[in-house]
Structure 1
Amino acid sequence: MLKIGCHLSAAKGYAHMGKDALKIGANTFAFFTRNPRGGKAKAIDEKDARALREMLSEHNFGTLVAHAPYTLNPCSKDEKVRNFAYIAMSEDMERMEYTPGNYYNFHPGSHVGQGTEVGIERIADLLNRILTPEQSTIVLLETMAGKGSEIGGRFEELAAIIDRVERKEKLGVCMDTCHVSDAGYDIIGDLDGVLEEFDRIVGLDKLRAMHINDSQNPKGAKKDRHAKIGEGCLGLDTIVNVITHPRLKDLPFILETPNELEGYAAEIALLRKEADKREGR
């Protein structure tokens, strides 16, 4: 069964996220481990986390895709910013064990003038410091749009990070449809070719989750502006091609479109209907 959901707010607690997911027809979801703009994380209520775990099991949820704060930049030239990335991710690895066996996604960061090679080295260094053999969480590098000095706009950059990480078994990739198109990959006209290229450079075994977003901009724009499904340059057919592709359809799909819960519910229902139609159900 298609595992699809959206970003949900953790402000009211973990179990509340599970209830919101069920309300909108989701069977996976994403959430920020702390305020998306950074800062101190709220203490976890163990009873609340247990209630969510029970709900996930009872309703056969797919793997969750937690998200690091946007302010996290492990390859900044500012040491304080790099230290925040280390502290936040280290804490988040501990917090993720309250909901074990899930994913933790982060933006690789921006090298801000230091050069791609330095940025890659700094990101890999952080991962080598925070990944442990005991953790059940798989950390995901997100594909980026390639704007400015972002790392991760090319598959080769993700592969270079992974090559430098010792505990590769604790590392994967989350592909974002808006980002990967904005970065110049033709998922509209040649999705198979893009996936073959990813497999050759990174390995499809490393692709663990998808962010499914339409894009306000055409291929190669390098702007990263999400649009609602069917209202952007990718279009509904492209997104349905992604969620029904034989090499992708078992992954968790997370919507990050500009929506409230009602809008997410409509998109989830639409995509389930289109996927069923495509597969003759």
Structure 2
Amino acid sequence: MFNIGCHLSMSKGYEAMGKAAVKIGANTFQFFTRNPRGKKAKNIDPEDVKALLKIMKENNFSAILAHAPYTLNACSADEGIRNLAIELIEDDLKRMEYLPNNFYNFHPGSHVKQGVDIGTRYIINMLNNVLKPEQNTIVLLETMSGKGTEIGKTFEELKNILDGVELSNKMGVCLDTCHVYDAGYDIVNDLDGVLKEFDDIIGLDKLRAIHLNDSKNPFASHKDRHETIGEGSIGLAAITKIINHPELRHLPFFLETPNDLSGHEKEIKILREAFKY
């Protein structure tokens, strides 16, 4: 089974996202839990959620992925911003219980010149505050490109966070192909080597999802500019190897490329044709 989807808007609700995914040939999708540039969230309609779960079951969906807002920064130098991060993630994880056994992804954050060690401690503190033994959601740290003072540009930085989390069974990693390539991991020419490094440092059992994006920028540029599949510096040949790799092919893949729904539909068709069933 090839599990592929894209980012969908939650503006019309949960059922609408499920229908949109099916229409474009997807069997999973990603969505923002709330305003991606703010903190406002829609009220949850249990009947709307129930309709989505029905669509997912009928169409053999894999796990879906909720994405935290970009404004969330758990390692900010500002205590108020750090407390807001705790508040938002705690609320998001309560909301995710309406959609059990799925994923919640967030960017580790920017330490804003405090240093990686201090920022890492803040992120660990936040996770140890919000994670609960009874929750059904796995929280994913996203690999980052390394622009500015981002934390998560190396596998070691992600491992340091994971090692400090008490409920480690509630944690995983989402690998973004654009981000790791821009960060200096050569998934084009040495995919096996990159995955071995990931396994040696973090463990491939922690890799739970992939953001499948081409990159507008060259290798090791430390930028974060996604490109349509096959039109960037990673290229379709390398992306085809990624989706067919024996250590990755079972994972859900989420497109975050600069496309509308019709564009994502074309990308999904290309990728399904490239996948070796």
Give 1:266 shift: 0.2
Q: Which residue of 1 aligns with 2:37?
A: 37
**1:116-174 Cα distance to aligned partner (Å, 9 max, x none):** 00011100110000000000000000000011100000000000000000000000000
Q: How many residues align?
A: 277
Q: Which residue of 1 aligns with 2:85?
A: 85
Gaps of 5+ in 1: none
Once residues 50 and 82 of structure 1 are traced to their aligned partners in structure 2, the CA distance between those partners, rounded to angstroms, is 33
Q: Which residue of 2 aligns with 1:203?
A: 203
Once residues 182 and 41 of structure 1 are traced to their aligned partners in structure 2, the CA distance between those partners, rounded to angstroms, is 32
Once residues 89 and 45 of structure 1 are traced to their aligned partners in structure 2, the CA distance between those partners, rounded to angstroms, is 20
Q: Which residue of 1 aligns with 2:124?
A: 124
Letter paired with 2:12? K
Letter paired with 2:124? A
Q: Which residue of 1 aligns with 2:98?
A: 98
Q: Does 1:61 align with 2:49?
A: no
Q: Which residue of 2 aligns with 1:76?
A: 76
Secondary structure class of the residue paired with 1:156: helix
Letter paired with 2:134? E
Q: Which residue of 2 aligns with 1:144?
A: 144
Matches within 5 A, 1:181-260: 181-260=181-260
Secondary structure class of the residue paired with 2:273: helix
Give 1:79 shift: 1.1
Q: Which residue of 2 aligns with 1:180?
A: 180
Give 1:251 shift: 0.3
Once residues 103 and 52 of structure 1 are traced to their aligned partners in structure 2, the CA distance between those partners, rounded to angstroms, is 16
Once residues 65 and 192 of structure 2 are traced to their aligned partners in structure 1, the CA distance between those partners, rounded to angstroms, is 24
Give 1:35 shift: 0.7
Letter paired with 2:272? R
Give 1:192 shift: 0.3
Q: Does 1:8 align with 2:31?
A: no
In angstroms, what is the RMSD of aligned CA positions? 0.6
Once residues 109 and 59 of structure 2 are traced to their aligned partners in structure 1, the CA distance between those partners, rounded to angstroms, is 35
- Normalised TM-score (structure 1): 0.98
Letter paired with 1:101? N
**1:198-220 Cα distance to aligned partner (Å, 9 max, x none):** 00000000000000000011111
Letter paired with 1:145? S
Secondary structure class of the residue paired with 2:28: coil
Gaps of 5+ in 2: none
Secondary structure class of the residue paired with 1:29: strand
Give 1:86 shift: 0.6
Q: 31-40 or 259-268: which moved more? A: 31-40
Q: Which residue of 2 aligns with 1:160?
A: 160
Give 1:225 shift: 0.5
Q: Which residue of 2 aligns with 1:26?
A: 26
Give 1:40 shift: 2.0
Letter paired with 1:22? V
Q: Which residue of 1 aligns with 2:266?
A: 266
Give 1:39 shift: 1.8
Once residues 64 and 254 of structure 1 are traced to their aligned partners in structure 2, the CA distance between those partners, rounded to angstroms, is 9
Percentage of pairs with the same residue: 61
Letter paired with 1:222? H
Letter paired with 2:88? A
Give 1:242 shift: 0.7
Give 1:188 shift: 0.3
Once residues 203 and 147 of structure 1 are traced to their aligned partners in structure 2, the CA distance between those partners, rounded to angstroms, is 25
